[in-house]
A and B are shown apart, each in its own frame.
Chain A
């Protein structure tokens, strides 16, 4: 069966009942003219363009990629692929891939050979180490490389260079997930499993537009909704998302008010005594303080702050309070908003006081945005140490030093690993003299772009950019290193529910482009990093050896990989960590039998003050939580720092759309995806549009104190008073190429965003700014280039042509062949 998968991103329904097995449906897309019989090899991989970790195989014909097919036997997606997976691989073959290293000469980037480029990087590194020490060097990486890349980078940065400055762009997407888990459970690690979607009777999505961020899992929910015993959904989102349209209760609060809303849900749960007291007594500390702190947070109180009717809040509380098996998922509507960690922690609290944890259907999914964000976290390529080790615990440092065979003082642990926003500040202020940016595009994705461009363009800052294309960031670099990507290199990816997949090399990279791992290993070799016995600090030469090295680092830690191997992953497909000799099939859910990593000797973090970010002292943590239970942390509401006023009367939120990923470096180069959402747009509510006399397609300018952008208007069911702009669009495909500084109109959402971040997770705020909107030109028959299939659907269906992909977007969907994996789930009957 063929279907236009741009017009229908979630594909055909395969209904199934609660506790049933999700039927397979195999989605395949082959390049035009390629018959299935012509495919020479199918090479295993998993999604690179979202955090779902959907298992797929890459079709190879004549040494080139020719298509993809979902893998029916894999429990994560049972063969389904979303539009980005079906079509995104075509970007690999773009004509404008970087194929040779570039170095800046007389102000211009010119082609060179690898030796010249790497010697320039090594030369500058040595100079800075001699003159100013390791604190002058910073690394900013990605959520889109492989585990093997991150782990190697973590070892070379932390023990090789000895710098504290290594973080990922996961700071922008998943830092709050990690922080909220550390605050509640003492340690990072996703508690729940995607399989909980099969068993939950209530699914609560907090700021999580799953239909656009994890299309396969949303298809799973649609399949359950199409059956006789569907789950009831609670959706908290200011936009009319697909989840909102299917929700039993939809709340569209004022942005920046997640904490009061959640406090009211906790208040109602406690007032009705929908509390699992046995669970609370056995597994938590802090219940009395939490009860006290939410005692005045009635639905009526929250209704004023959130601008949501009190009756709706009570209904939401009833839904989560009476669930038999509650699954909550959390994403950017919480993580990128004001009081991010405080709010995400209240979702954990809801589950802890209701005892909704560690059994089928009862769980929390603090989600990720990127495919390998989980690996960035566990490998310590973000602002944490490898294996979720605690930088304040000397025993953990000693253990890491043993794994790396270095003296403990070689690993900087006098202060927390530096987060990305602070690294960019150090670069701005001059104390970081070299920034090595791999697999990410801060000149489009960080807040307040005029500042970021100016900072990256400084002569005194030496910038290395490792990427596939000449991105907006690469244009500002001193050295550009051409990288190979997914399908051209081998490594592992761990998704948001801890499922590890092996992605194997299917084709050769273009020109002289090299796998990221090779580039890092080359640098380590040239720097001649040594361990304490004079042997090489990094002894591995290729991906599988890097994976084996990581296994040793993960041994005995929460993210234990010791039961995994490339061979095992080839045979079994995706496996959820921890996976050990004793648990060779992996672990679907954490905390099935109490809280395991919160003990003061074991925990990854002693926690922080959620409002100020101040560190909790180890002694204080020990006295508060001597037995290592989950910590119920209360939080009071604070008003956002930037609220609308006369000059800037709107609230402004940025976000993503289903058809694009990150800064469109890949998705913008694929016809099917690009044509579905070719340019930036601005969403406004029907009420505001009517009041201002504006309509579909009008060209408008959105302005904040930081800057402005222009886009065409889409009138939707979004919350009145709020504007929404997608953040994917930059400048590589505009006349200017790198930004609006030479007079062109702004296009990137981050021209307008504020430099402010959550003090606990250090995640920047992209959802809470104040903005003005002015008309630039009337539509004159033109439409907003926004999809109609998603949250950006027009309020009046006839207002814009329906999004469709046509012939080029036809993919096949076949009923599954291949058996469901043999992991029996307890869960009763339905």
Chain B
């Protein structure tokens, strides 16, 4: 495996693990925001699966992606603003992952790596759906949380 691809795999693996962790943290932290709680929990499972499949693919090439536990999302901002802050952080984290998937997709095509390409096609659409979700929630919640409290 090329060093560059290995580097991105590592970064994305870390990113997906981090997003899974952050989604779960947000789900617990905002348990009383029921839709956030339930959907974030579902979406965390997607990222966990992405990380597992990345590790599996890397292992096939003899590359071990480490299992370090990333730091949880820090709580920052008062009450209702904390929710918007967390959604923003989730959105940025998913954006980073999406760009890494994009890079892998390009590399997979250039190197005709079918295995990698099929992994990207299975996972990247879900990352895009995570992005759309956080964007939708920010759009829906901001008017109320920023003007009526």
A→B interface (CB under 8 Å):
132-133, 135-136, 164, 414-416, 418, 421-422, 425-426, 428-432, 609, 611-615, 617, 638, 641, 755-757, 759, 762
Contacts and interface: CB of A to CB of B under 8 A. Distances in A.
B129 A431 contact: no
Contacts of B139: 414-415, 615
B115 interface: no
Interface string B27-38: 000001111001
Given A135-B143, A612-B129, A431 B34 contact: no
B34 A425 contact: yes
B80 A757 contact: no
Interface in B52-100: 80
Contacts of A614: 129, 132-133, 135-136
A431 B147 CA distance: 9
B103 interface: no
A759 B136 CA distance: 12
Contacts of B133: 609, 612-614
B39 interface: yes
Contacts of B140: 415-416, 422
Given A133-B147, A431-B144, A614-B136, 16 more contacts: A132-B148, A418-B144, A425-B34, A429-B32, A429-B80, A432-B148, A609-B132, A612-B39, A612-B130, A614-B135, A615-B139, A617-B132, A641-B41, A755-B34, A759-B35, A759-B39
Contacts of B39: 612-613, 759
A249 to B, nearest CB: 32
7 contacts: A415-B140, A432-B148, A609-B129, A612-B130, A757-B34, A757-B35, A759-B38
Interface of B: 32-35, 38-39, 41-43, 80, 129-130, 132-133, 135-136, 139-140, 143-145, 147-149
A425 B33 contact: yes
Given A135-B144, A414-B143, A638 B34 contact: no
B136 A613 contact: yes
A617 B133 CA distance: 12
A135 B129 contact: no
B93 to A, nearest CB: 16
A432 B35 CA distance: 18
B46 to A, nearest CB: 10
Contact of B148 (A133, A611, A641): A133
Contacts of A429: 32, 80
B125 to A, nearest CB: 11
Given A613-B35, A638-B42, A759-B35, A135 B147 contact: yes
Nearest to A421: B34
B132 A756 contact: no
A611 B42 contact: yes
B149 A431 contact: yes
A431 B132 contact: no
A336 to B, nearest CB: 15
Nearest to A430: B149
Nearest to A432: B148
Given A415-B140, A425-B33, A429-B80, A615 B132 contact: yes
A339 to B, nearest CB: 11
A367 to B, nearest CB: 25
Contacts of A421: 34-35
B59 to A, nearest CB: 26
Contacts of B143: 135, 164, 414-415
Most B-side CB within 10 Å, residue of A425, A609, A612, A638: A612
B118 to A, nearest CB: 14
Nearest to A609: B129
Nearest to B79: A429
A641 B80 CA distance: 25
Most B-side CB within 10 Å, residue of A414, A421, A429: A429
Contacts of A617: 132
A415 B32 CA distance: 21
A617 B131 CA distance: 12
Contacts of A611: 42, 129
Contact of A135 (B33, B136, B148): B148
Give me the 9 closest cross-chain CB pairs, A-B, nearest first. Answer: A135-B148, A614-B132, A431-B148, A612-B133, A614-B133, A614-B136, A755-B34, A615-B136, A431-B149
Most A-side CB within 10 Å, residue of B133, B136, B143, B148: B148
Contacts of A426: 144, 148
Contacts of A615: 132, 136, 139
Contacts of A762: 35
A756 B34 contact: yes
Most B-side CB within 10 Å, residue of A428, A431, A617, A757: A431
Contacts of A756: 34, 38
A49 to B, nearest CB: 31
B96 to A, nearest CB: 18
Nearest to A423: B144
A421 B129 CA distance: 23
Nearest to B83: A429
A609 B33 CA distance: 19
Nearest to B132: A614
A433 to B, nearest CB: 8
Nearest to A134: B148
A428 B43 contact: no
A132 B146 CA distance: 11
A431 B129 CA distance: 29
A762 B147 CA distance: 23
B136 A431 contact: no
B83 to A, nearest CB: 10
Contacts of B135: 614
Contacts of A135: 143-144, 147-148
A136 B143 CA distance: 11
A623 to B, nearest CB: 15
Nearest to A418: B144
A641 B132 CA distance: 22
A421 B32 CA distance: 12
A136 B148 contact: yes
Given A415-B139, A415-B143, A612 B148 contact: no
Nearest to B145: A431
Nearest to A620: B132
B131 to A, nearest CB: 8
B52 to A, nearest CB: 17
A429 B135 CA distance: 22
Contacts of B42: 611-612, 638, 641
A641 B136 CA distance: 22
Contact of B80 (A414, A415, A431): A431
A634 to B, nearest CB: 12
A431 B32 CA distance: 15
Contacts of B136: 612-615
A679 B139 CA distance: 45
A693 B135 CA distance: 53
Nearest to A638: B42
A422 B39 CA distance: 14
B69 to A, nearest CB: 25
B85 to A, nearest CB: 16
Contacts of A609: 129, 132-133
A443 B71 CA distance: 42
Contacts of A430: 149
Given A133-B148, A431-B144, A431-B145, A612 B132 contact: yes
Nearest to A611: B42
Contacts of B35: 421-422, 613, 757, 759, 762
A421 B34 CA distance: 9
Contacts of A164: 143
